[in-house]
Structure 1
């Protein structure tokens, strides 16, 4: 187990970071309430329905979005965790705190942008979110966890977050194309593009497994999103057996890549 690296007293910079993370979490909660329809329009009903679970062949089925529950609870837990005295000055939180805050702001911004129907702007936002989370998990990878609690709460939360956002980014691009008039809910072109999209997501999943030593949280979130996209094409509308089967195979490939990387590192 790694030793927590702390200073004697939190610096002004440490306090600023903690406050910014907390404010970002509040903003994220507000954005979530907007996206849930409490303070605005539900995501699936915004932007003319372009982001609904049945809008394109690459959209995950509705139950897939339940992954946001552990992610949002994890972000709340992280916000509290980083205020604990033993974490205020440790290098892990110093390395990731600002990125964590940025991810929360981008998350809320995405929800607010989609309320305006700006689907292509939402693509830019979600890609920025994916890049931010990649940088954050990369820093976690280079700074060992302090124990089980840290691994579950911090690494687990941001791993799930990154994995899901990769899948969501692909679905978001398809939604933007659909909103621009490209038919992506069926037909030969839609099927080919969806198969390419599934292949790209799987390739990213394999790359992330190699980059981050087969982090299970990343792989599980990616596989979860792909599996529900597959289920949606096989059991719901818009239907596509080729895309459904490809997405399910891609989910297995991502998990297999993480398993192989774990095995390689433990030899």
Structure 2
């Protein structure tokens, strides 16, 4: 027989679970930042462009973006810092959206840090495995963020925007990581490298269009993918390995992935206005 005290314990259990989730998010962020500091050479780590015999540098493969592309991590980390601080507030503690997303966001931050650790201390194939897992985790997190719509600027920026940027950038980074492992630059290039490089860039553009449609025209994933593609173009047009074919294809793909959600959003608003006037 249920005692009167038992129902009263349920809210307390929920509060403890919420507090635990908030602490886990904080710990995940701290782990990611420590790993990032090691990854840029602090604490004795080797800068990422120099690990794995330079395979992850701008000249490591035909699909590697130029070094300035990686400055997007500063924006993503700043956004994740904002999310970590915001989700601790008492008003966010028991929100259903936070309950649905908190552990998922924490998981993406842990995988982010694990990739950096794998790049520093493990093998190139392991970095591919970790970044693929990160991409899957981000896709799931992005999907859940759509299933639990937010409200207000903070939701739009710190969850939808940051998760979208993270997903878009990691989509491009996953391709570059796989290329660094499976098709490293040899200096010989040739038609075969150009052919598969252009085909892969076309695939990235197609994925960007699908993400835009799937997300009901959210802008952040396309912006991050466009950023990565532009810097792939810069690397192939101005650096080594030099490949104008891949460079031009990357510019076209960047325009497609950025403009698709913009056009889709405008079209959606036009339809809504016409329906309201009907």
Q: Tell me the TM-score normalized by structure 1.
A: 0.92
Structure 1's consecutive aligned runs of 4 or more residues displaced over 3 angstroms after TM superposition are 7-10, 182-185
Counterpart of 1:225 (choices 214, 225, 228) is 228
Q: CA deviation at 1:243?
A: 0.3
- Post-superposition Cα deviations, 1:64-108, rounded to whole Å, max 9, x if no partner, equal 111001100111111111101111010111111111111011001
Bigger helix fraction:
2
Q: CA deviation at 1:264?
A: 3.4
Counterpart of 2:42 (choices 20, 25, 38) is 38
Is 1:91 matched up with 2:96? yes
Equivalence for 1:256: 259
- Post-superposition Cα deviations, 1:167-193, rounded to whole Å, max 9, x if no partner, equal 0000000011146xx748722222112
Equivalence map 1:170-181=2 (5 Å): 170-178=175-183
The alignment's C-alpha RMSD in Å is 1.7
- Post-superposition Cα deviations, 1:153-180, rounded to whole Å, max 9, x if no partner, equal 221111110000000000000011146x
* 1:54 and 1:238 in contact (8 A); partners too: yes
Cα distance change of structure 1 residues 23 and 52 upon mapping to structure 2, 3 Å threshold = same
Equivalence for 2:143: 138
In structure 1, stretches of 5+ residues that fail to align are: 1-6
Instruction: Pick 1 or 2: higher relative contact order, CA cutoff 8 A, min separation 6.
Output: 1
Q: Tell me the TM-score normalized by structure 2.
A: 0.89
Cα distance change of structure 1 residues 26 and 103 upon mapping to structure 2, 3 Å threshold = same
* 2:187 and 2:241 in contact (8 A); partners too: no
Number of aligned residues: 259
* 1:87 and 1:93 in contact (8 A); partners too: yes
Equivalence map 1:1-267=2 (5 Å): 11-39=15-43, 40-178=45-183, 183=186, 186-266=189-269, 267=271
* 1:55 and 1:185 in contact (8 A); partners too: no
| CA distance in structure 2 between the aligned counterparts of 1:212 and 1:41, rounded to whole angstroms | 37
| CA distance in structure 2 between the aligned counterparts of 1:260 and 1:8, rounded to whole angstroms | 46
* 1:222 and 1:251 in contact (8 A); partners too: yes
Q: CA deviation at 1:232?
A: 1.1
Equivalence for 2:6: none
* 1:50 and 1:178 in contact (8 A); partners too: no
Larger radius of gyration: 2
